[in-house]
Structure 1
């Protein structure tokens, strides 16, 4: 790996961690550069600014989560069980990487400009998740896949809100409650 590529990768990794743990507004690019072990000019050689770096970090987080979720769902043979399986994956994700809730919702709360690259990364993530849920609901045989998928996304975002308010110790119970509600919604939608 070239030093230039290595510095970029380290910056993205460090930005993902620092922005998630400390928040976007509270974190200066100097802090990210220091955490990555690179100079500020090196940071600017790779990214046009803080928003560009944060959006890239969010896209990296999305790619990682999407791959994990795809692998998780591949292990669920019954299509009818896949929408609820998203919640078991979510429980695992919160145990390992979700101490502060959803990185995308946290970023959306801090960056309100709809043209900002961070906000655009958030929108892409939530659209992707909604589309995935629509597909899973349709494959599960629900009669109103778009509506139920929207409701499932509300449950997922509600879990994130609970974690932000009550802390990471609330994640397991919140995910379990959301999974129970998801099962009810899916059952009602397949009658």
Structure 2
């Protein structure tokens, strides 16, 4: 069975992304289609602004933080990006984390749990698809969209939402199928 990394892309203090990431990670564990589900919070990874002198395609990493990030990313067979929309785009920490590596992303499916106020983060998802497809990742069309005004209760906690749970299940089903279909490409890469 494949291994899934759920990456929380916001590092901003007071962010809601971690709560959404925790919810999705629990949904992925309940889904039971993955051998391992790992929550990876970029606020905890603490990657500095890209500081490797070699191009990521060379896989020559001088810094321990890059080697650790490489190992974490390489171990996954699929990804879900839990991502906010900032000014109609994706967050700089997410782009930085992606740009650190090259081979580790190859031939792996990626799903999106986006959130925001007006578009639910969909504009950011459209932008990041250009980045991930350049790395030979395969984005799934099924996604989870969280409109924060409706999703959060008075205390800022995520409300239960059966339709959001259903969307997560559909996306996870696709990720499992694509991870298996792309496995031969990962093995020969």
Same fold per TM (> 0.5)?
Answer: no
Larger strand proportion, structure 1 or 2?
Answer: 2
Q: TM-score, normalised by structure 2?
A: 0.32
Larger helix proportion, structure 1 or 2?
Answer: 1
Larger radius of gyration: 1
Q: TM-score, normalised by structure 1?
A: 0.32
